[in-house]
Amino acid sequence: MVQLDVETILSQLTLGEKVALTAGIDFWHTAAIERLGVPSLRLSDGPNGVRGTRFFNGVPAACFPCATALGATWDTELLHQVGRLLGEEAVAKGVHVLLGPTLNIQRSPLGGRGFESFSEDGVLSGTLAGHYCRGVQEKGVAATLKHFVCNDQEHERLAVDTIVTARALREIYLLPFQLAMRICQTACVMTAYNKINGTHVSENKAIIDDILRREWAWDGLVMSDWFGTYSTADAIRAGLDLEMPGKTRWRGEALAHAVSSRKVPEHILDDRVRHVLRLINWLDRAGIPEHAPEKALNRPEDRRLLRRAAAESIVLLKNEGDILPLKKDRSLLVIGPNAKLAAYCGGGSASLDAYYTVTPFDGLVAQSTADVRYVQGVYSHKELPLLGPLLKTADGRTGFSFRVYNEPPTEANRELVDELHLVSSNGFLMDYVNPKIKSFLFYVDMEGDFTPEEDGVYDFGVTVVGTGKLLIDGEVVVDNTKNQRQGSAFFGNGTVEEIGSKELKAGQTYRVLLQFGSAPTSDIDTRGIVVFGPGGFRFGAARRITQTELIAQAVDQAATADQVVLFAGLTAEWETEGHDRDHMDLPPGSDELIAAVLRVKPDAVIVIQSGTPVTMPWAPEAKALVQAWFGGNECGNGIADVLYGAVNPSAKLPLTFPVHLRDNPSYLNFGSERGRVLYGEDVFVGYRFYEKMQRAPLFPFGYGLSYTTFSRSNLRFQVSPEQQSSNVLADGEPITASVTVTNTGTVAGAEIVQLWITPRKEGPGIIRPVRELKAFDKVFLQPGEEKTVRLVVEKKLATSFWDEEREAWVSEAGTYGLLITGTGDQILEDEFVVNRTRYWVGL
C-alpha cells in the first residue's frame, strides 16, 4: 500500500465510490477503488487471537488466555508483549485491523461474553487494554476498542435499550475506553449493538461525536459491530464511518439516495470517507498487501510467551497446609471433566482454531516423574462431545469426509461440487464459499466410520443452523429437520441439540452419515437474531453412563490416591457470545463430584476453569483451590507449571466472586425486559457494591495468594502543588506513592501492589464507593529481596466523580485517603488534601 493524498482522492471519487468505501464488501474486507489506488483492508477477530478470514476450516492461530485471565495478571508489560505477538499474528494472516480488545464491564457473572473483557474495574481494564493496544499498533496493525459502549449482556443484544445514568456511564462504562485512549490512541473503535437511553450506539451522536470525537479529540475510524447498523442517514450523521460486514444493508443505493435528496449532506459523507482513507494511510507502514495469503507462525518464542501468559494468569485462592505445590516424584490421580479437555477459549467471535492445545492432564504428565492416572468423575458437556475426532475416513485418516452438493439427497445423480477432509464435527459456515454453490441453499454429506471401545448404549446429538439427519449404517438415529427448537449455539442461530440413541458393540465398525441442509432449509423463526452466513453443524456422541456411577468410580480411586487434582469448570459451550448463562453454577454433577472427593480426600486440589465466576458450595471444605480460566494454547502447561511449582502464582482476581448469584448487584436488573435493561446498581458495580453493603463475597476483587509471603512498608507519597491560575484541573499534578516491598518467604515470586483512594473525609457531595482502585504495579522479587515500587496517578483521576449537573468531572476540595494493598491482609494508609474544587472534561 502507498500513502494516499486524501483530499485529492476525495475530490476525484464519484458519489457511488464514496458510498462503497463506507461499507464492507464481504465478511472481512472493505471496498477498493482500483482506479485511484485505494486498496481493500482486511479485518479479523479477535481479542485473544487472530483468526484470519475463516471461521470454518481456517488457518490455525495462536490463542492467548481469555481476557479475564489476562486481566488476572495485572501485568502491563506482559499485555504489551501479548499485543506485539497479536500484531505479528495479524501480519501473518494478512490482517490490517484487529477487532480487539473488548472493554465491556462484567456487571453480572451471567454475561455470555464476560470472559472477553478484562475486569469489572475500569482502571484495571483500561490500563491493561492501553498497553495491549500499544503492542498491537507497534507492529503497524490497527487495534479496535470494542464494544463502545454498555454491551454487557447477550440477551436481546441487538435491540436492548440500556437505561444508565450519566454518572455511571462515565465512571464505570466509558472509563476503561477513556484510560486506554490515554495510553494508546487506537486507530479504530467499534460501536456496540445496543441502545443507550433510547438510541442505538451506532447512530448515537452524543456518544460517537460529542464524547469520542469532540471531547476526547480522537480522530480514528468508527465501525459498526457485525450487523450492528440500523439506519442510513442517522448512522452517517452520528459519525459511523464503516458499516460491517458486507454486503451492505444500509448504505449502497440507500445512502446514495439520501445524499442526493440532501437527507445526508455530502460533506458529512466526505468525513466518513476521509476516516477510511486516513486509516489506509495509517496502515501503510505495516506493508501488508491486499488479499494476502494467510500463514501460520507458531514459533518457539511465541509458545514460550503463551505458556508464560497461561501460568501468570492462574489465581491461587486457597492453599491450607501448603498442599501446593505438588510433588513430582509422588503418584498423582487426575479427576474431572476438564482434565482431558482443552478448555482454551470461550465461544463466539473470540473462538478460533489453535495451532495446538495442551490439556491439563497432558501438562501434568509431561512434568511428573511418577505415575499419573486418570478417572472421568462426571461428564460436564452441555452438548454431547464431538464425534468427529473419533471417526475414520475410508482411507484411515482421523476425521470424516465433507461432500457438498447443490441438490438434496433425494435427488438422483446430483453433482459433487466440493469435498473436504475435516476432523472437528463442529463447523460454522458463515464464511464458507465455493464458486460452484449457487446460493445459500446447499446440502452436505458428512461421513466417517466409528469403532466404539466399549459395549453400551450410545447417545448421538445433532445441532444445526439449517437441518440435519444422522444415520448409522443407514438407520436414522437423530432427525433434526422438523419442529426445530431455538437454542444458544452458533451465536444463537442454532437449534437445541436433538438426541437419539443406539446400542453398539465394542470393536465393531459403524458407518456414520450426517445429511445436512444449509440455513434456508430450517423452519426456525430468526427474527431478532443476527443471521451469520449459510449455516452450521455440530454432531457428537457419548456412551451412556450415569453420573452416580462415574462419581462412585472417582471416589473409590481418590480414597487411596497419593495426590489428587480435580479439574472442573466451564467450556466454550457454557460461556459464549450470543447467549447469557442461565445460572452461575457448574455443569450438573460437578459440585456433587467435588464434594464427594473432598469427603474422602480433604487435601485434593480443586482447579476450576471458567471465564467468569461460578458458585462453589464446597469451597469451605476445599483446602487447595485454583482458578485457571480459559488458558489458550498452553493452558495445560501453564496449569502444570503452577501446580508443580515451576511458576509461583502471582495473579489476582480481576472481578469479584460472589457466594451466590443473588449477591451480585445486578441480580434484579440483568437481562432485557420488554426491550430494556436498567443499570440499577448505578456506579456500585463489582467490589464497589460489596464493600459499600459490607457483604462478604466468596473471593474479593484483587485477591490472590502466593507460594511466598510479602511485606509492604515505608509508604511515602508526594502530591504536586496545585496550579492556582485556573478553575480547571490541569494535566499532570501527579500523586506519587512509593512503598518498599520485601519477599519475606523462601520462594521467588511476584507481588502486585495496589493503590486505592477513599472519598474525602469532609463528606462527599454524593454517595461514593468505600474505595476505588487508581493504580497498580507488579514487581518480581527473589527470597529476601526488597524493591521500591512507585505508583503514580494524576490527581484529577484519583479524586474526581462525574457531576451530572455541571456535565463535567469534579475534584472536590477536601482530605482524601490513600491505601496500599497487595498479597495478604496488610494495608498501608495515609491521606492528602485537595485545596480547591475544580472541574474538567476530556481524556
String of DSSP letters for 522-588: -----TTS---TT-EEEEEEEE---HHHHHHHHHHHHTT-SEEEEEEE--TTTSBTTB--S-SSPST
Residue 618: CA atoms inside 13 Å, Cβ hemisphere, count?
A: 25
| Residues pairing with 61 in the sheet | 354
CB 364 within 8 A of CB 565: yes
User: In sequence order, which residues have a C-beta less than 8 Å from that of residue 410 and are 6 or more positions away?
Assistant: none
Strand partners, 6: none
How many residues appear in the chain?
843
198: Cβ contacts below 8 Å, ≥ 6 apart: 161
In three-state secondary structure terms, 421 is: strand
Q: Within 10 Å of residue 516's Cβ, how many Cβ atoms? A: 29
Query: Which CATH number applies to 710-840: 2.60.40.10, 2.60.40.350, 3.20.20.70, 1.10.10.1150?
Result: 2.60.40.10
Rg over CA atoms, the chain: 27
Task: Give 87's contacts (C-beta < 8 A, 6+ positions apart).
Answer: 98, 135, 136, 137, 138, 139, 140, 141
Nearest to 142 by CA among 176, 178, 99: 99
Residue 493's pLDDT is: 85
Q: Mark whether 225 is an active-site residue.
A: yes
Per the residue annotation, which of 225, 431, 445, 803 is the catalytic one? 225
Enter the pTM of the model.
Answer: 0.95
pLDDT of residue 338: 96
Q: What pLDDT is stored for residue 492 in this prediction?
A: 81
- Residue 765's pLDDT is 77
Contacts of 279 (CB under 8 A, 6+ apart): 41, 97, 142, 187, 188, 220, 221
Integer angstrom CA distances of residue 527 from 480, 486, 587, 790:
20, 11, 30, 54
For domain 300-380+547-679+689-693, which architecture applies?
3-Layer(aba) Sandwich (3.40)
Per-residue pLDDT of 164-187, as tens digits, reads 999 999 999 999 999 999 999 999
Cis bond leading into 6, ω under 30°? no
Whole-angstrom Cα distance, residue 817 to residue 724? 23
Could you give the CA distance from residue 444 to residue 442 in angstroms, rounded to a whole number? Answer: 7
Contact call for residues 31 and 21 (beta carbons, < 8 A) = yes
Task: Please report which helix (H) or strand (E) contains residue 418, including its range.
Answer: strand 416-422
Q: Where do we find the cell 487434582?
A: 565
Which residues of the chain are under the pLDDT cut of 70? 1-2, 526-531, 723-732, 764
Q: Bridge-partner residues for 420, per DSSP?
A: 402
Ordered by start, the domain boundaries in the chain are 6-286, 300-380+547-679+689-693, 388-424+433-533, 710-840
Nearest 5°: the CA angle 162, 166, 170 is 95
CATH topology of domain 6-286: TIM Barrel (3.20.20)
CB 220 within 8 A of CB 189: yes
Question: Comparing C-alpha atoms, which of 447, 469, 444, 440 is closest to residue 388?
Answer: 447
- What pLDDT does 431 receive? 83
Specify whether the backbone of 57 is left (phi greater than 0), alpha (psi in -120 to 50) or beta. Answer: left
Where would I find the beta strands (DSSP E) of 689-765? 710-719, 734-743, 749-758
Superfamily classification of domain 388-424+433-533 = Galactose-binding domain-like (2.60.120.260)
The three cell numbers of residue 512 are 456414520
